[in-house]
Structure 1
Amino acid sequence: MTTVTQHRVRARPAHPSGPTFLAYTPNGKKLVTAGSNNVVRVYTTGSDGEPTNLDDCQENNTAVAATNDFFLTGSDDGTVCMYSLETYTYEKMVTRFTLPIRDIALSPDGQWAAIASDELAVKIVNLEDSFKILYLRDLPKPAKHLSYDPSGTFLAASCTDGAVYLYSLSKEEPELKRKIQGVIRSLDIEAETSSKAAWHPDGRAFAAPTATRDIQVISHSDGELQRSFSGGHMGDITALAWSPNGALLLTAGKDRKVLLWDTKSQKIVARYDYPNVTNIVWHSHENIVSFVTSDGELFIYDNFVQPDVAPLLEKTLQHAPFIRDPLAETDGNARKVVANGHRLPQEPRARRKGTPDTLDSILGDAADEDDFVSDDDGAGYALGLKRGNDHLEEIDDFDHKRRAASSWQPRIHQSFQPGSTPWRGNRKYLCVNLIGFVWTVDQDTHNTVTVEFYDRDYHRDFHFTDPYEYDKACLNEHGALFSCPPSKDNPSTIFYRPHETWTSRADWRTPLPEHETVTSIALSDSFIIATTSADYIRIFTLFGTPYRIYRQKSSPTVTCTSWHDYILTMGNGPLAADGSTKLLYTLSNLKRDENLQSEDTVALPAHATLKSVFFSDAGDPCIYDSTGVLLVLQHWRHQGQARWVPLLDTRRLDRLRGGGKEESYWPVAVAQEKFHCIILKGGISILISRNRC
């Protein structure tokens, strides 16, 4: 951390004491300030000369916003006026309120102005045609701050009731997408303390001050809390602003401090001593920061970021500080996940409307994604799920010239856990079936795991603190099974927890040898199975006793599932003509130590991927592939006679005839001769059962 001790930047008396506001033009050439008098000052970047003064403006200005061609001011008398930056003259009155203006936010294209006042409704006015006005009418109290996301698709309104209201502007009328509570404080409309939602430049999240004087980052797609900047200020936060590339965050507080934070580490990299700072802006492309105080003073700080930190400011656009960043998996340095030689496009996640910390916590929003799941009948069983697992991401077509120039590698099917989802933000579903579901939340220092059941008369929901950071789980009527990857302090571990009974519960945990990782797990009424990175199949009794261990012939291992005494394992086999591996399966009876089917091929069409594998309630192995076909393994009890028989082709459902619907299906189970699945489509989900073919 650096404490800046160099000479203090000279204050420029801009306006009388009182609320003072400023804004850079997008090209950074001019800086506009407004305050409690009727003079607006325009400063030219790089010039030490006197500013250009417009002295015929309204008095008691309360907001200012600027484009390259004009700027807007809002005042205490409820008027919003436009002034030319070319002629420095008044152009027109944009709109008028009956109560004082509190904030103005310009859309990124400069065509719309969102305006908040002491009235309840927020106006969004078209600047070319002032008669075109949109309204935000869902606010119970006046909005204190407004901010557009970088794309202009969303508008965040920080309300004086202590909530952030997020609106979508993609339709003709603004639509309230989310109300985020428990972050910002309930504030008086004239308070110097800030509750502004400052959008990160990458547009996926915004930061807002909290009641504990921290800065909380919030994902706009699901309202989830991400990283926070904490422990910096001893007084209420009065201003915050991201650097243009999002690598740095600048905050000011009533503790007379201005703090510079590293976005990636959320650490303070510099401290500055400036009291009464109320508004801060970054220059669009130079190392310049300008801020104003409640004393009416303006500071233009050239070379603001010190040389030891300046390289951060020179980087390209940085990611918002997510706890589990989905973009981190698609960085150029990250290894792409391959399934049967093809990486599918990252699927949208879906959402279930329910109580906080339920399935909608991880799964997505139809506002910016194609597929969406909601519990529209309120029964609580329509689970929102991401349509693919970590193993179901598709690569683009290979550049044949580049492939020829590089060393050739076979494309293998990566391991996956049936019924689980990828990390989304700081949350992940570990297991979903007809018994219930298991999900985990990353809390930085540990995880918290929650297990919920559909039949709460038979089982009680529970959750626990998870220092091991379990990433796989299985759930049945008798217990819950978990596994975790190795960490610096712990090896890869298997943990079994029986459900509550009238006797004492006998939890047990067993570690794997060093450098060996669990790749998939399965839980039946009789056994616990784990496949590992060493290509071992490790089998335990429900009491934790090692029962059998052997090395799988087809490797690397892919997944496993079980039912009673039977186990189905899958692994990578020989190469196909396209350079990808074939999937092979082995089906065994553990008690009899007998292979019923050994290293047989999983019947997948060309370029298709395996989406799930499970046993039906009758004990028949089933698979569901990316072409939307459900298959069952017939005659599997007779060696050499097994074959994969299609039960249902979801592409041929009556509901899809006519081409009017675009939807896909997340497999959950085959039970009572029905296929239980979740419909994924643009905004509606229904848990359905389809009769067998």
Structure 2
Amino acid sequence: MALQQRLRGRQAHTPGATFAAYTPNGKKLITVGVDNFCRIFSTGSDDEPVTVDDCQENNTAVVAGNDFFIAGSEDGTVSKYSLSDHKLEDIIVRTSLPVRDLALSPDGNWVAVASDELAVKVVNTKDMTQVQYLREQPRAVKHVAFDNSGSRLAVSCTDGNIYMYSLSSEDPDMLKKVDGMIRSLESDAEASSRVLWHPDGRAFATPTAGREIQVMSFSDWERQKTFKTGHSADITSAAWSPNGALLATTSSDLNLCLWDSQTQKLLKKYDDLKATILALAWHPTENILSYTNNDGELFIHTGIVPAEHSTLLQKPLQPAPFFHDPSEGRAGNAVNLTNGTKLDLPERQVRRAGTPDSLDDILGPDGLSDDGMDGFVVDDDGAGYAAAINGHGKRTNGHLGALQSPSGKRRAYGSSATFKPQAHESFQPGSTPWRGNRRYLCLNLAGFVWTVSQESSHHTVTVEFYDREFHRDFHFTDPFMYDKACLNDNGTLFSCQPHDSNPAMIYYRPHETWTTRTDWRTNLPVGESITAIALSSSYIVVTTSTNYVRIYTLFGIPLRVYRTKASPAVTCAAWRNYILTIGNGPVAGDGTCQLLYTIENVARDEIHQSEDIVALTPNSTLSSVFFSDEGDPYIYDSTGVLLTLIHWRTPGQARWVPMLDTALLSRLSSGQKQESYWPVAVSNRKFHCIILKGQDKYPYFPRPILSEFDFQMPLTSARSGKKANGGAKDADAMSDDEDGGPAEGETQSEQSRLEHALLLSSTLHAQLKSNLTHPTASPSTHQLSLLADLEVQINRTLLQLLGHECLAGEDRGMKALEIVGLFKDEDEQGRAKGKMLDLASKVATRYGREVLGAKIREVAERRMAGVGGAEEDE
């Protein structure tokens, strides 16, 4: 029978958001709404409700005890009313911002107040001076929920995280920050992110971004069963039945659904509601579900559970829907719940403690003795198991084949016979996962692209630039639901996955053209999805699920389609005529797939590196890949190391060099900061990134600020020396120079700095020289100037190191002479000029190192005569 034929809503309040709550004994039902009064309905009575007039307007929440109820309003007032005389008793607390939710402890002694303030206030209902403050959450709170014991409080924050607190002591303690369960919602949104404590107290559930209800066990924080509700819009309210056997859910799609908690099966669906339900309230003992909507109406739905399922409500307290019951392993069949109730489980659901003499060895995991095992082994698949039974009723090992392992070791009992390597997941550089209804599609130095999910019908995409004088921001409605984007000074590239009967698609929108028609779209073959896209000033690159690499010109002309040998494809990057693709390769010793990269020049149809290995440490993953502003490939891994590829234009000569290890940054040397870094780009020989605080893994809104770090190749750890009091030096730190020369620690620090500067300059010089001297290169005046500057910097650093060695004493002469051999002192034809050797000889003479000076002059004479190279080679 249709819902409107069975029920007639009661206009409890002025049209608007309305909320309801039962008293624990079920005798009264209290409603609040946008008007300035509350209503008290008596269960089983058709009489007019009692109206409490002395109330605030725009009430947003209500909770009830047997003798009182508490209402919160948008003006920040939390008021307590008596159910005996229907009068205002006290104003429990005031907040400076609107109240969003209330939760009452089971004993009625404490009320938790969630508001747009950052802190949650937990106030004693009998003594308002007793207040506890929960301050760990960084943003406003949308919902609060006490567990059945009243000692724990779940806080649903608008940042998309759940903060679980223990209130068992005077100072509340945060037990756990649960991420990935709820959506990031505005505090006044109709959608719900409320924590639903299961009546047995061992688990809780929440609505998810996928419009499902996810169950999590409280003891081990493991995700358990999921209610795949199938709602086509956001879940607005949900509630367990008093015994935990049923779950009711409502959504903005105007459906109300009843679910079996143990099987997660839909029992009944009421799909002809007229307004969105905002609050559900089960009667504590009867088959009644009351709910209020955003139109001011109250429905008291008697017989909500159909007759064929009504026995579910009559059952005793039911266990939470677990995959694996955390209570397994305890002795006995009765499981003690947090509310003191003993839950009787079937015998086979309760395992005995795994002691060495456990009965499990005799009875088996299902608790079956040999007496109940007659005929248990059945040859139902023709494998011959039944025939392989010995006289003791046991299986023989005749079904086992010969040992195939080269090492002669057998597989562990119960292990899978099929080995599955761990392939690296595909990703789009510069993009973030969904957090709430928002995500970044692209973040780089040109600007950023972000999208907002508007229910299930469409997204809205915004493209913003850092230089708004050069490009204008734009915003558009996205019915295709783009999930990847690239942005540069020429245009913006988007892609979307196959949806319904529509194939995957790429869309390019140039910033400026001299024709009327500018943007273009193209579809991919049916069944092919996009794993990554890249955009350069010349080409568009797409890698797909079929391991194809598709290359287009900027205006849609397909140039190449080929299948990459490294599969599955992981990601790609592009710069001018060069593209870099990365895919999974052979399996390493730890069972993970090695990543292989290929770099090619599309314009010349020339491959520089083919299926070479991406150098990652064990148990690390690739976080990002991009080209620098000078056109050099860079990668950033999960350990926080930035690496560049040098000599990559020469086949077989490429190697990965670490340019920065963020774990060794001096800002982290104290150990007090907890932060990570989101890679953005390398420009002007600096690493540009976004600093993520605490446990954050991805940037979020509002738009984060970019930070930059100089290259710092990993040579030594950051070390902080002792600071002397009053500026005086420590006696042990003084050098042997009686004139007050530098301390030994300062000398070592300066030498480390010079060594790092030498290594960094040499790496940059080798990288740039390799690029400029390649046959396909056409060096510009600016690049040649940079190369000369690097040579000067290397030689200057070497002279400073030579001075340190001369100052250290004659016994350091061998290292000093070694330094002399590193000078960049050649002309364009590679002939030695001798200028730097003359300067080195003068440095040795200045410090009185005559023997060293003579050795340097000998080296200079051999070089000018064109000899000595062979000796060095030998």
| TM-score grouping bracket, smaller chain normalisation | 0.5 to 0.7
Structure 1 portions without partners, runs of 5+: 12-19, 51-56, 117-121, 137-145, 158-165, 185-195, 207-225, 231-239, 252-258, 319-330, 333-399
Deviating more after overlay: 240-249 vs 437-446: 240-249
The alpha-carbon deviation at position 273 of structure 1 amounts to 11
Distance 2:581 2:310 in 1: 53
> What secondary structure sits across from 1:468 in the alignment?
coil
Contact 2:100 2:143 in 1 (8 A): no
> C-alpha offsets along residues 600-656 of structure 1, whole Å, 9 cap, x if unaligned?
110000000100000011111000001110000011111111110000000011100
Name the structure 2 match of 1:517: 529
Question: In the alignment, is residue 593 of structure 1 matched against residue 605 of structure 2?
Answer: yes
Distance 1:32 1:402 in 2: 59
Go from structure 1 to structure 2 and tell me whether the alpha carbon gap of 1:474 and 1:316 turns closer, same or farther (over 3 Å shift). Answer: farther
The amino acid that maps onto 1:465 is T
Go from structure 1 to structure 2 and tell me whether the alpha carbon gap of 1:156 and 1:435 turns closer, same or farther (over 3 Å shift). Answer: closer
Go from structure 1 to structure 2 and tell me whether the alpha carbon gap of 1:462 and 1:182 turns closer, same or farther (over 3 Å shift). Answer: farther
The amino acid that maps onto 2:707 is I
> C-alpha offsets along residues 221-280 of structure 1, whole Å, 9 cap, x if unaligned?
xxxxx97579xxxxxxxxx964327642399xxxxxxx7624999x97256899xx9997
Name the structure 1 match of 2:228: none
Contact 1:22 1:32 in 2 (8 A): no
The amino acid that maps onto 1:614 is F
Question: In the alignment, is residue 2 of structure 1 matched against residue 10 of structure 2?
Answer: no
Deviating more after overlay: 514-523 vs 660-669: 514-523
Contact 2:567 2:585 in 1 (8 A): yes
Larger strand fraction of residues: 1
> What secondary structure sits across from 1:655 in the alignment?
helix
Distance 1:59 1:506 in 2: 64
Go from structure 1 to structure 2 and tell me whether the alpha carbon gap of 1:111 and 1:519 turns closer, same or farther (over 3 Å shift). Answer: same
The one of 680, 702, 707 equivalent to 1:688 is 707
Larger helix fraction of residues: 2
Aligned-residue CA RMSD (Å): 5.5
> What secondary structure sits across from 2:256 in the alignment?
strand
Name the structure 2 match of 1:653: 665
The one of 422, 426, 436 equivalent to 2:433 is 422
Question: In the alignment, is residue 571 of structure 1 matched against residue 583 of structure 2?
Answer: yes
The amino acid that maps onto 2:608 is L
Question: In the alignment, is residue 437 of structure 1 matched against residue 448 of structure 2?
Answer: yes
Which structure is larger by alpha-carbon Rg, 1 or 2? 2
Go from structure 1 to structure 2 and tell me whether the alpha carbon gap of 1:545 and 1:305 turns closer, same or farther (over 3 Å shift). Answer: same
Contact 1:66 1:106 in 2 (8 A): no
Contact 1:630 1:646 in 2 (8 A): yes
> C-alpha offsets along residues 201-237 of structure 1, whole Å, 9 cap, x if unaligned?
345689xxxxxxxxxxxxxxxxxxx97579xxxxxxx
Distance 1:33 1:418 in 2: 54
> What secondary structure sits across from 2:415 in the alignment?
helix
> C-alpha offsets along residues 505-532 of structure 1, whole Å, 9 cap, x if unaligned?
5222221122222211111111111111
Matches within 5 A, 1:46-445: 65-67=63-65, 71-72=68-69, 80=80, 105-108=102-105, 110-113=108-111, 125-127=123-125, 129-133=127-131, 148-149=144-145, 152-154=153-155, 199=194, 201=196, 202-203=205-206, 242-244=238-240, 247-249=248-250, 261-262=256-257, 269=270, 281-283=281-283, 287-290=287-290, 301-306=301-306, 404-405=415-416, 407-443=418-454, 444-445=456-457
Distance 2:554 2:311 in 1: 55
Name the structure 2 match of 1:32: 28
Contact 1:34 1:61 in 2 (8 A): no
The alpha-carbon deviation at position 7 of structure 1 amounts to 9.5
Distance 1:582 1:502 in 2: 46
Distance 2:69 2:125 in 1: 10
The amino acid that maps onto 1:132 is Q
Distance 1:638 1:493 in 2: 35
Taking structure 1 as the reference length, the TM-score comes to: 0.60
Contact 1:156 1:197 in 2 (8 A): no
Deviating more after overlay: 483-492 vs 552-561: 483-492
Question: In the alignment, is residue 541 of structure 1 matched against residue 553 of structure 2?
Answer: yes
Name the structure 2 match of 1:629: 641
Contact 1:199 1:205 in 2 (8 A): no
Go from structure 1 to structure 2 and tell me whether the alpha carbon gap of 1:655 and 1:481 turns closer, same or farther (over 3 Å shift). Answer: same
Go from structure 1 to structure 2 and tell me whether the alpha carbon gap of 1:280 and 1:587 turns closer, same or farther (over 3 Å shift). Answer: closer
Go from structure 1 to structure 2 and tell me whether the alpha carbon gap of 1:111 and 1:585 turns closer, same or farther (over 3 Å shift). Answer: farther
The amino acid that maps onto 1:31 is K
Distance 1:132 1:536 in 2: 66
> What secondary structure sits across from 1:243 in the alignment?
strand
Distance 1:501 1:241 in 2: 50
Question: In the alignment, is residue 495 of structure 1 matched against residue 507 of structure 2?
Answer: yes
Go from structure 1 to structure 2 and tell me whether the alpha carbon gap of 1:287 and 1:508 turns closer, same or farther (over 3 Å shift). Answer: same
> C-alpha offsets along residues 363-398 of structure 1, whole Å, 9 cap, x if unaligned?
xxxxxxxxxxxxxxxxxxxxxxxxxxxxxxxxxxxx
Contact 1:108 1:148 in 2 (8 A): no
Distance 1:534 1:155 in 2: 41
Percent identity over the alignment is 46
The one of 565, 569, 574 equivalent to 1:553 is 565
> C-alpha offsets along residues 411-464 of structure 1, whole Å, 9 cap, x if unaligned?
111211111111233333211110011122233222222211111110011122
Taking structure 2 as the reference length, the TM-score comes to: 0.48
Go from structure 1 to structure 2 and tell me whether the alpha carbon gap of 1:97 and 1:484 turns closer, same or farther (over 3 Å shift). Answer: closer
Distance 1:80 1:465 in 2: 47
Go from structure 1 to structure 2 and tell me whether the alpha carbon gap of 1:647 and 1:113 turns closer, same or farther (over 3 Å shift). Answer: same
Contact 1:247 1:312 in 2 (8 A): no
The amino acid that maps onto 1:572 is N
The alpha-carbon deviation at position 155 of structure 1 amounts to 8.7
Go from structure 1 to structure 2 and tell me whether the alpha carbon gap of 1:307 and 1:539 turns closer, same or farther (over 3 Å shift). Answer: farther
The amino acid that maps onto 1:478 is N
Distance 1:292 1:600 in 2: 63
Distance 2:298 2:446 in 1: 63
> C-alpha offsets along residues 251-310 of structure 1, whole Å, 9 cap, x if unaligned?
9xxxxxxx7624999x97256899xx99973235864224799xxx99975421346998
Distance 2:547 2:251 in 1: 50
Go from structure 1 to structure 2 and tell me whether the alpha carbon gap of 1:459 and 1:290 turns closer, same or farther (over 3 Å shift). Answer: closer
Contact 2:636 2:643 in 1 (8 A): yes
Contact 1:115 1:123 in 2 (8 A): yes
> C-alpha offsets along residues 70-108 of structure 1, whole Å, 9 cap, x if unaligned?
654789xx984679xxxx999x9766799xxx9994434
Go from structure 1 to structure 2 and tell me whether the alpha carbon gap of 1:288 and 1:556 turns closer, same or farther (over 3 Å shift). Answer: same
Larger RCO (CA within 8 A; separation ≥ 6) = 1
> C-alpha offsets along residues 307-348 of structure 1, whole Å, 9 cap, x if unaligned?
699899999989xxxxxxxxxxxx99xxxxxxxxxxxxxxxx
The alpha-carbon deviation at position 40 of structure 1 amounts to 9.0
Contact 2:192 2:207 in 1 (8 A): no
> C-alpha offsets along residues 522-562 of structure 1, whole Å, 9 cap, x if unaligned?
11111111111121111111121111222111111111101
> What secondary structure sits across from 2:27 in the alignment?
strand
Contact 2:590 2:618 in 1 (8 A): no
The amino acid that maps onto 1:248 is T
> What secondary structure sits across from 1:506 in the alignment?
coil
Pairs aligned (count): 506
Name the structure 2 match of 1:676: 688
Go from structure 1 to structure 2 and tell me whether the alpha carbon gap of 1:609 and 1:33 turns closer, same or farther (over 3 Å shift). Answer: closer
The alpha-carbon deviation at position 494 of structure 1 amounts to 1.7
Distance 1:502 1:199 in 2: 53
Question: In the alignment, is residue 455 of structure 1 matched against residue 455 of structure 2?
Answer: no
